[in-house]
């Protein structure tokens, strides 16, 4: 078989943007994975130890190399992928500099085992610091395995620059995700420190996103699709209510190559305008396909930046495509995340004093001439104060009053809509006797009979609304701890905590990952007593994992629910008179005092007639 690798002519080599290929373990991962893809692999395994600092290994079932190619592969500017300068502008493969393996071999211990389909035996090379130490024949399956050990072992300065294994691992993981997303048709495995992190079969993009980021992603994705002469756009975008604070799941791929582009990101953000809560960024997995000669991917040595010939058109088309998907799938503005609750008023409005909107009316208007239609429908009654109330026009009903030339519309107040208690009873409630039944229910008297309240559900409702209120405030009410708490968690839990971190922050938590898998908590929502934090977090994690009864809600909402469950008083807890009254008061000050956040009935009344019947 003819040698496939040739040295690039010097001038071509010089045309290639200079730059270090290897900055950290993740850069090695990227190069090795891309080589495996270029070799036509359909199954790729990535094995790393200590975030890649001690070991990075990629095993593929691709074409493999013969002995000569294998030896050449570690020579700078040896590549089988381009031959002449013009080829630089027609790049379809991932690697094209022919310098990755050479660079890696120069700064680590590298072992390469490979066999191509034509040969019975494979080749095993050992290289350290750029020096070929041994070449052996070996029995291996077709494909290539490259092991990179002790990165920067011969450059202590660079080695010391590496971050903790945890941080390096995060970068490795990101690289893995990018490659796996771009190639859903290929199966991947990832092992870290001997534990299997991912084992993902070949699938369609949607499922691949689920494999990588959790199956709940499925409900959050909206497909995006647009094809024009300039660019073809496809992939998925996330519904706006799942947008998160800070960057997270934002992926652009151009011709299947992951790229960073603040310009394209801007186009997407622009399309979401008006749909996002402040400071949140939606996730997206967007694939752009353009003719290979209309882009220049060679402007940055790590190849994550790109220049389009038709930049402005790409921007406009991308924005239109995102807008179209958001519109087509009927994604309405969700500035308010509690949208599907019967909680229509944003909580922070509750802290503002009510102002009556002023409406100018045509005083010559005579409603008796035409059909008069009352424009405000109100369900409960209210008392209009004093003299200003003049119902001038029957047809306009009681929703407004006249003052000078102006008609004031009276807007429904925040008063509890239940007419459960006697007039004025809300204030006087403290005087009404209440009893605890079975340490589970509170029984009290109301105007029409007896009211039975489930104490835990009531408390859940109260806490839930308080948490929501806290979230909707710009600055969540939180207490900074004098002595930050250190709580140990295992790796899996840590990942979930990281996932929850944004919503936790919104609630008033301040936590960060400590050195050894500890979580350091420096501030808490005021609603959570210090002593309860550990237990609350444990319970939160368990419920979060099980997605208990919270499907389809925003993350913040879900968090508020779970916290309300975790903190609520349990059956069996004795409540003194004051606590019972406070709970009843708080419950009926809630927007929805009837149902718990988990949609369970909170209270019921036994009418006097019902009681009478029972005694017949």
Residues interacting with ligand ADP, by CB under 6 A? 5, 31, 35-36, 39, 60, 62-65, 73, 78-81, 95-102, 144
List of residues 6+ apart from 362 with CB closer than 8 A: none
3-state helix, strand, coil in the chain (%, to 5): 35, 25, 40
Nearest to 205 by CA among 290, 284, 295, 319: 284
Give me the least distance between CB of 4 and ligand ADP, in Å please. Answer: 6
Give me the least distance between CB of 60 and ligand ADP, in Å please. Answer: 5
Q: Which does 96 bind (CB under 5 to 8 A by kind): ligand ADP, Mg ion, none?
A: ligand ADP
**Closer of 65 and 471 to ligand ADP (Cβ):** 65
Give me the least distance between CB of 317 and ligand ADP, in Å please. Answer: 31
Question: Binding of Mg ion at residue 100 (CB under 5 A)?
Answer: yes
**Closer of 79 and 444 to Mg ion (Cβ):** 79
CA 427 to chain centre: 44
Residue 236 half-sphere exposure toward CB, CA atoms < 13 A: 19
**Rounded Cα–Cα distance for residues 78 and 81 (Å):** 9
Q: Which does 52 bind (CB under 5 to 8 A by kind): ligand ADP, Mg ion, none?
A: none
Instruction: Give the dihedral of Cα atoms 530, 531, 533, 535; nearest 10 deg.
Output: -170
List of residues 6+ apart from 280 with CB closer than 8 A: 243, 244, 245
Q: Which does 98 bind (CB under 5 to 8 A by kind): ligand ADP, Mg ion, none?
A: ligand ADP
Nearest to 467 by CA among 545, 540, 519: 540
Give me the least distance between CB of 37 and ligand ADP, in Å please. Answer: 9
**Closer of 94 and 559 to ligand ADP (Cβ):** 94
Can you say whether the dihedral through the CA atoms of 163, 164, 167, 170 is positive or negative? positive
Give me the least distance between CB of 36 and ligand ADP, in Å please. Answer: 5
Give me the least distance between CB of 31 and ligand ADP, in Å please. Answer: 5
**Closer of 35 and 503 to ligand ADP (Cβ):** 35
**Closer of 100 and 410 to Mg ion (Cβ):** 100
Question: 131 to each of 87, 134, 282, how far by Cα in Å?
Answer: 30, 9, 48
List of residues 6+ apart from 363 with CB closer than 8 A: 405
Give me the least distance between CB of 42 and ligand ADP, in Å please. Answer: 13
Residues 337-396 that bind Mg ion (CB under 5 A): none
Give me the least distance between CB of 81 and Mg ion, in Å please. Answer: 8
The strand pairing partners of 113, in sequence order, are 124, 145
With CB atoms as reference, the residue minimizing the distance to Mg ion is: 95
Angle formed by the axes of helices 455-472 and 577-588, to 10°? 50
Binding Mg ion (rule: CB under 5 A), the pick from 27, 35, 280, 470 is 35
Question: Binding of Mg ion at residue 80 (CB under 5 A)?
Answer: no
Neighbours of 505 (CB within 10 A): 17
How many residues bind Mg ion (CB under 5 A)? The answer is 3
Q: Which does 73 bind (CB under 5 to 8 A by kind): Mg ion, ligand ADP, none?
A: ligand ADP
Q: Which does 39 bind (CB under 5 to 8 A by kind): Mg ion, ligand ADP, none?
A: ligand ADP
**Closer of 33 and 429 to ligand ADP (Cβ):** 33
Give me the least distance between CB of 32 and ligand ADP, in Å please. Answer: 7
Element (H, E) at 557: helix 555-567
Give me the least distance between CB of 137 and ligand ADP, in Å please. Answer: 18
Angle formed by the axes of helices 205-213 and 165-182, to 10°? 170
List of residues 6+ apart from 46 with CB closer than 8 A: 29, 32, 33, 56, 57, 58, 172, 176, 188, 189, 190, 191
**Closer of 100 and 254 to Mg ion (Cβ):** 100
Question: How would you list the strands of the sheet with 131-138, edge to edge?
Answer: 131-138, 122-128, 109-115, 143-149, 55-60, 43-49, 187-192, 195-200
Neighbours of 586 (CB within 10 A): 17
List of residues 6+ apart from 176 with CB closer than 8 A: 29, 33, 46, 188, 190, 198
Element (H, E) at 490: none
Question: Where are the strands (E) in 255-300, listed by range?
Answer: 257-259, 280-281, 284-289, 295-296
**Closer of 96 and 284 to ligand ADP (Cβ):** 96
From 19-27, 98-106, 181-189, 424-432, give the range in contact with Mg ion by CB under 5 A: 98-106
Question: Binding of Mg ion at residue 95 (CB under 5 A)?
Answer: yes
Give me the least distance between CB of 252 and ligand ADP, in Å please. Answer: 22
Strand pairing class (478-488; 449-454): unpaired
**Closer of 56 and 65 to ligand ADP (Cβ):** 65
With CB atoms as reference, the residue minimizing the distance to ligand ADP is: 95
**Closer of 34 and 502 to ligand ADP (Cβ):** 34
Q: Which does 60 bind (CB under 5 to 8 A by kind): Mg ion, ligand ADP, none?
A: ligand ADP
**Closer of 68 and 313 to Mg ion (Cβ):** 68
534 φ, ψ (degrees, to nearest 5): -55, -55
Question: 16 to each of 132, 371, 485, how far by Cα in Å?
Answer: 26, 79, 52
**Closer of 35 and 45 to Mg ion (Cβ):** 35
**Closer of 118 and 225 to ligand ADP (Cβ):** 118
Are 173 and 181 in contact by the 8 Å Cβ rule? The answer is no
Neighbours of 150 (CB within 10 A): 14
**Closer of 107 and 286 to ligand ADP (Cβ):** 107
Give me the least distance between CB of 591 and ligand ADP, in Å please. Answer: 60
Q: Which does 51 bind (CB under 5 to 8 A by kind): ligand ADP, Mg ion, none?
A: none
Are 123 and 73 in contact by the 8 Å Cβ rule? The answer is no
**Sites of contact with Mg ion (CB under 5 A):** 35, 95, 100
């Amino acid at each position: 078989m003819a040698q496939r690798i040739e040295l690039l002519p010097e001038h071509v080599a010089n045309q290639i943007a200079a730059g270090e290929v290897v900055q950290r373990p993740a850069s090695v991962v990227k190069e090795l994975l891309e080589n495996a893809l270029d070799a036509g692999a359909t199954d790729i395994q990535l094995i790393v130890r200590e975030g890649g600092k001690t070991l990075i290994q990629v095993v593929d079932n691709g074409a493999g190399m013969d002995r000569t190619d294998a030896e050449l592969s570690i020579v700078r500017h040896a590549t089988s992928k381009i031959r002449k300068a013009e080829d630089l502008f027609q790049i379809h493969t991932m690697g094209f500099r022919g310098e990755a393996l050479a660079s890696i071999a120069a700064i680590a211990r590298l072992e390469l085992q490979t066999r191509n389909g034509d040969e019975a035996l494979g080749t095993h090379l050992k290289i350290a610091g750029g020096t070929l130490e041994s070449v052996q024949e070996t029995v291996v399956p077709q494909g290539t395995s490259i092991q990179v050990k002790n990165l920067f072992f011969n450059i202590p300065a660079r080695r010391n620059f590496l971050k903790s294994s945890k941080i390096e691992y995060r970068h490795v993981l990101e690289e893995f995700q990018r490659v796996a997303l771009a190639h859903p048709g290929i199966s991947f495995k990832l092992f870290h420190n001997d534990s299997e992190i991912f084992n993902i079969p070949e699938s369609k993009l949607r499922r691949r996103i689920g494999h990588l980021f959790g199956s709940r992603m499925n409900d959050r994705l909206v497909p995006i699709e647009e094809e024009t002469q300039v660019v073809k756009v496809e992939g998925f975008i996330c519904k706006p209510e799942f947008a998160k604070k800070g960057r997270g799941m934002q992926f652009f791929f151009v011709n299947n190559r992951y790229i960073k582009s603040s310009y394209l990101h801007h186009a997407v953000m622009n399309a979401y305008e008006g749909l996002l809560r402040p400071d949140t960024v939606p996730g997206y997995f967007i694939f752009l396909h353009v003719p290979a000669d209309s882009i220049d991917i060679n402007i940055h040595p790590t190849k994550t930046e790109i220049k389009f010939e038709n930049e402005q058109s790409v921007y406009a088309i991308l924005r239109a495509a995102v807008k179209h998907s958001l519109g087509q799938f009927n994604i309405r503005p969700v500035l308010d995340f509690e949208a599907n609750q019967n909680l229509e008023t944003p909580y922070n409005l509750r802290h503002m004093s009510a102002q009556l909107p002023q409406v100018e009316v045509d005083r010559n208007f005579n409603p008796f001439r035409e059909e008069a239609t009352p424009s405000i429908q109100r369900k409960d009654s209210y008392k209009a104060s004093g003299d200003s109330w003049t119902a001038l026009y029957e047809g306009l009903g009681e929703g407004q009053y006249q003052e000078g030339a102006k008609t004031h519309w009276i807007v429904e107040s925040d008063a509890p809509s239940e007419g459960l208690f006697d007039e004025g009873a809300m204030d006087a409630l403290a005087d009404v006797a209440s009893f605890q039944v079975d340490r589970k229910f509170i029984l009290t008297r109301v105007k029409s009979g007896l009211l039975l309240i489930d104490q835990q559900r009531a408390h859940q409702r109260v806490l839930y609304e308080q948490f929501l209120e806290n979230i909707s405030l710009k600055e969540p009410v939180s207490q900074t701890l004098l002595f930050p708490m250190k709580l140990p968690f295992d790796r899996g839990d840590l990942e979930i905590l990281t996932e929850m971190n944004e919503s936790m922050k919104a609630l008033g938590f301040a936590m960060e990952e400590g050195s050894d898998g500890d979580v350091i908590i420096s501030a808490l929502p005021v609603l959570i007593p210090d002593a309860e934090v550990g237990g609350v977090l444990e319970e939160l994690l368990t419920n979060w994992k099980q997605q208990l009864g919270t499907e389809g809600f925003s993350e913040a909402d879900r968090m508020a629910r779970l916290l309300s469950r975790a903190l609520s008083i349990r059956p069996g807890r004795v409540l003194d008179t004051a606590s019972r009254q406070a709970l009843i008061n708080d419950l009926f000050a809630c927007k929805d005092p009837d149902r718990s956040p988990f949609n369970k009935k909170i209270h019921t009344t036994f009418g006097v007639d019902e009681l009478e019947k029972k005694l017949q």
